[in-house]
Amino acid sequence: MKTRTLAIIKPDAVSMGYASTISDRIIKEGFIILGTKQIKMSLSQSEGFYTVHIGKPFFEELTRFMSSGPCIVLALEKENAVDSWREVIGATNPKEADEGTIRKEFAKNVGENAVHGSDSDENATQEIAFFFSEEELNGDI
């Protein structure tokens, strides 16, 4: 079944000029881009997006980093989109990411790790709705 996931090209990757290479990879991997926009999150927006990580030792650093510069958010569609995208991006820590994954190629470290991917269909739905209204998306599911 075709499902959706939220991808983010994070501020480190955008500032390093990797956005178009990563977008090309998204297309090459067979994802349909239902919606995309470049945004700069405020700190409170970043904190709202990452509520699941409140209380973790990296929360403050993460939310500061994610609001430090422009990022690109993308609503993606594909068969089994969540797992498929997580395979393409690789492990959270680039040192543990497989060869050929986006994080292996572009991530600096476990914090500034180039891209985001939703971790479940439920969270994908919530995360997409955080950034996009249904009217902004081109899909019909």
Summarize as ranges the residues that interact with ligand UDP (CB under 6 A): 58, 61-62, 92, 110-111, 113, 116, 119
Minimum distance from residue 140 beta carbon to ligand UDP (Å): 28
Catalytic residue among 116, 117, 127, 131: 116
Between 8 and 133, CB nearer to Mg ion: 8
Between 15 and 92, CB nearer to ligand UDP: 92
Between 53 and 136, CB nearer to Mg ion: 53
Active site residue 53: no
Per the DSSP assignment, residues forming a β-bridge with 32 are 77
Structure-block tokens of residue 107: 């991530």
Cβ atoms < 10 Å from Cβ of 110: 14
Minimum distance from residue 119 beta carbon to Mg ion (Å): 5
Contact 15, 72 (CB under 8 A): no
> Is residue 119 a contact point for Mg ion (CB under 5 A)?
yes
Cβ atoms < 10 Å from Cβ of 24: 10
Alpha helices in 29-132 (DSSP H): 43-49, 59-66, 81-89, 102-106, 121-131
Minimum distance from residue 11 beta carbon to ligand UDP (Å): 11
Query: Choosing among Mg ion, ligand UDP, none, which partner's interface includes residue 92 (Cβ < 5 to 8 Å by kind)?
Result: ligand UDP
CA distance 3 to 81: 5
Query: Residue 85 phi/psi, 5° resolution?
Result: -70, -40
Q: Contact residues for Mg ion (CB under 5 A)?
A: 119
Q: Which residues are catalytic?
A: 116
